Structure formats: C-alpha cells, structure tokens
Amino acid sequence: MARKCDICGKGPSVGNSIAKRGRAKRVGGVGIKQTGITGRKFKPNIQKIWADVDGKKKKIRACAKCIKSGEVVKPRA
C-alpha cells in the first residue's frame, strides 16, 4: 500500500536532517558548526476515510490538506 493521497497524489519526499552544535555569536559563542548530515523522509498526513466517489461510498486515502479544504466529499448518513 503506497503512502500516497488518492486526491492530489502527495507522497513522501526526501530531505536532510542537519545536526549542529555550539552557541550563536550573537549570544557570546564562537558560532554554530555543522557536525553531520543524515537523510530523512517527510511523510504526508494520510488518513483512511469514507468518501463519495462517483455516487458510491468508498474508502480512500486522502491527505489532511485535501480533507480540510473540502476536496473530499463525505457520504451522507
């Protein structure tokens, strides 16, 4: 199962986690130094919800942004 939004297609993206140490110059230190870079993943907030798809009730995976913006139509009770 892919961690992907069925509405907008948003999925995981990659980036870096940068480790730093030291104290900033403006507060009396000698400056902040970078000590390492590690790869990381940014995961979207995917929810499984019931939605109205082509007039039928269906379970889909949608990101929180699509749910909040109203792009997902929830079925009536």
Q: Which two tokens stand for residue 75?
A: 């079925």
Closest CA to 47 of 28, 30, 66, 32: 66
Give kind and range of the element (H or E) at residue 66: helix 64-69
Give the pLDDT of residue 76. Answer: 81
Using one digit for the tens of pLDDT, what is the confidence trace for 8-46?
999 999 999 999 999 999 999 999 999 999 999 999 999
Give kind and range of the element (H or E) at residue 62: strand 56-63
Q: How far apart are CA 3 and CA 28, in angstroms?
A: 45
Give kind and range of the element (H or E) at residue 67: helix 64-69
